[in-house]
């Protein structure tokens, strides 16, 4: 039992450590060290990607119920996935004036929505992947006005009832999605470690996954019959595990 509690608590600490990665990234944002800022953002993405699996494997709900894992995860996610990259895009001058306010508000509402995930394991609305958006806006070197249009469009999508794939849970093409996402993560991380031709090629190949993700999401949204959204207030839901 003590060992089980230690493991369960270590998952909570691991989740909370995403804030540390986020603060280090923010320091690099202020210093205009773009490459290191995105590297630390990707470390935060990695933490968020694996903590839910650890929570389920080590039965966090049973052995460390004092901490609401869902609430902790949402707090860390808003900082690392929303506030940090939006501040970065604003600080680096990539967005038109005041555009930064729209995704901050839309994502706050979207992440607090009681029906943010459907019963068939989709995200309802664009899942506020703003650090990924910022990464590609940096590498694509688009005009500020076009950056603003992309950010505003995705901000609206946060609040629309459009279903987006949850790679680790959506049953359709789950194995393919997870494989491509893993390869994507490796390509992005490697591309951030240098500036040589091979690093640039790795980043170019990484563009495949965002296209796949958005294409699959819209195709499945149109093809699959929607299932009622899952409320976070349902008594039977294991909130700690929904990370």
- pLDDT value, residue 4: 85
Q: State how far the Cα of 88 lies from the Cα of 141, in Å rounded to an integer.
A: 15
The angle at the Cα of 135, spanning 97 to 150, to the nearest 5 degrees, equals 45
Which class for 50: exposed (0-12), middle (13-18), buried (19 or more C-beta within 10 A)?
middle
Q: Report residue 118: phi and psi, to 5°.
A: -85, 165
Count the Cβ atoms, other than its own, within 10 Å of residue 13: 10
The β-bridge partners of 164 are 123
- pLDDT value, residue 61: 85
The pLDDT profile of the chain, 243 residues, written as one tens digit per residue, is: 678 888 889 999 999 999 999 999 999 999 999 999 999 999 999 998 888 888 888 888 888 888 888 889 999 999 999 999 999 999 999 999 999 999 999 999 998 887 777 777 889 899 999 999 999 999 999 999 999 999 999 999 999 999 999 988 888 999 999 999 999 999 999 999 999 999 999 999 999 999 999 999 999 988 876 654 444 333 333 444 445
Q: Residues 174, 168: contact at Cβ < 8 Å?
A: yes
What pTM, to 2 d.p., does this model score? Answer: 0.86
Handedness of CA 164, 165, 168, 172 (dihedral sign): positive
- pLDDT value, residue 236: 33
- pLDDT value, residue 55: 86
What is the separation, in whole angstroms, between the first and last Cα of the chain? 24
Instruction: Compute CA distances 91 → 77, 105, 125, whole Å.
Output: 20, 18, 26
Sorted by where each begins, the domain ranges of the chain are 2-237
- pLDDT value, residue 54: 86
Give Cα 134 to chain centroid, integer Å: 12
The β-bridge partners of 165 are 122
- pLDDT value, residue 89: 97
């Amino acid at each position: 039992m003590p060992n089980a509690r230690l493991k369960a608590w270590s998952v909570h600490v691991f989740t909370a450590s995403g804030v540390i990665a986020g603060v280090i990234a923010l320091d690099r944002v202020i210093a205009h060290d773009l490459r290191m800022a995105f590297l630390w953002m990707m470390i935060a993405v990695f933490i968020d990607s694996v903590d839910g699996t650890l929570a389920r494997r080590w039965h966090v709900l049973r052995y460390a119920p004092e901490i609401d894992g869902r609430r902790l995860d949402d707090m860390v996610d808003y900082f690392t996935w929303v506030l940090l990259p939006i501040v970065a895009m604003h600080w680096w001058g990539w967005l038109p004036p005041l555009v930064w306010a729209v995704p901050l508000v839309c994502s706050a509402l979207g992440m607090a929505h009681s029906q943010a995930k459907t019963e068939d394991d989709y995200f309802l609305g664009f899942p506020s992947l703003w650090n990924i958006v910022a990464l590609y806006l940096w590498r694509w070197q688009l005009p500020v006005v076009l950056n603003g249009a992309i950010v505003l469009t995705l901000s609206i999508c946060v609040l629309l009832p459009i279903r987006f794939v949850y790679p680790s849970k959506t049953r359709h093409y789950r194995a393919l999605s997870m494989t491509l996402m893993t390869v994507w993560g490796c390509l992005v991380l490697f591309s951030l470690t240098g500036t040589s031709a091979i690093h640039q090629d790795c980043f170019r190949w990484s563009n495949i996954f965002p296209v796949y993700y958005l294409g699959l999401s819209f195709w499945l949204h149109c093809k699959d019959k929607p299932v009622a959204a899952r409320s976070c207030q349902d008594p039977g839901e294991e909130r700690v595990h929904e990370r």
